[in-house]
Amino acid sequence: MATAAKRGRLTTTAEPSAPGHIRLLHSLEAELRRRDPDGAGLDGVDDLDALARQLADTALESTTRWLDHLGLFYDAHGVAQLLGRDGRPVTRQAVSKRKGLLALTTGSGQVVYPAFQFHDRALAPGLAEVLAELPEDVVSRWTVASWLASPQRELDDERPIDVLYEGTPGAVSAVVRAAHAWAGDLAQ
């Protein structure tokens, strides 16, 4: 792809970039302006193409690791369709205000919802109670998602999300107790 500098901004002469690429470029530019306002910090970099490859590898590898660990995600539109009834989706506003729904904000500002919290068009039983034990001022939502999807010693090395779906008496209570204990450990 050919590029040209135009009044201090990078412009492309090929096809337009994907929206995700544009958001990353804007975020990178803002961060560089904040850390290196006059641009002198990159003067000593011999191979900017190698640096760009390294940045892309880091960004995409991180995304792949989260996908491998947490599985797939829905966007607000997908959740609205999933939680709708009789072929009518709920509104996106209803999705964003729904209590007990685990919402994660990506680095680009997009809100996504781990698919593991849904089964048969419904939220995991007891998920709202678990999330209430793990306030955002104590632990990030991404960390909560990771905890839900990781085996926990307190739950006989089962994943909390799997225990919620078991449907056995006391399953929800066991996960709520484990979440409460974990939040207590984090708050110390």
Per-residue pLDDT for 58 more than 90?
Answer: no
Q: What angle do CA 24, 144, 22 make, to 5 degrees?
A: 10
Query: What's the rounded Cα separation, in Å, for the pair 30 and 22?
Result: 12
Q: Which residue has the higher pLDDT, 188 or 139?
A: 139
What share of the chain has pLDDT > 70, as a percent? 84
Q: Which residue has the higher pLDDT, 4 or 81?
A: 81
| Average pLDDT for the chain | 83
Q: Which residue has the higher pLDDT, 20 or 110?
A: 110
Region 65-70: mean pLDDT is 74
Cα dihedral 36, 39, 43, 47, rounded to 10, equals: 90
Contact by Cβ (8 Å): 14, 4: no
Residue 105 parent element (H or E): strand 104-105
| Banded pLDDT at 171 (limits 50, 70, 90) | very high
pLDDT at position 124, please?
94
Region 70-74: mean pLDDT is 89
| Banded pLDDT at 59 (limits 50, 70, 90) | low
For residue range 14-33, what is the model confidence (pLDDT) as tens digits? 676 777 677 777 777 877 88
Per-residue pLDDT for 7 more than 70?
Answer: no
Residues β-bridged to residue 4:
11
Query: What's the rounded Cα separation, in Å, for the pair 90 and 133?
Result: 27
Residues β-bridged to residue 118:
123
Q: What are the tokens at 29?
A: 């530019």
| Banded pLDDT at 6 (limits 50, 70, 90) | very low
Region 115-128: mean pLDDT is 92
For residue range 145-169, what is the model confidence (pLDDT) as tens digits? 999 999 999 999 999 999 999 988 9
Per-residue pLDDT for 56 more than 60?
Answer: yes
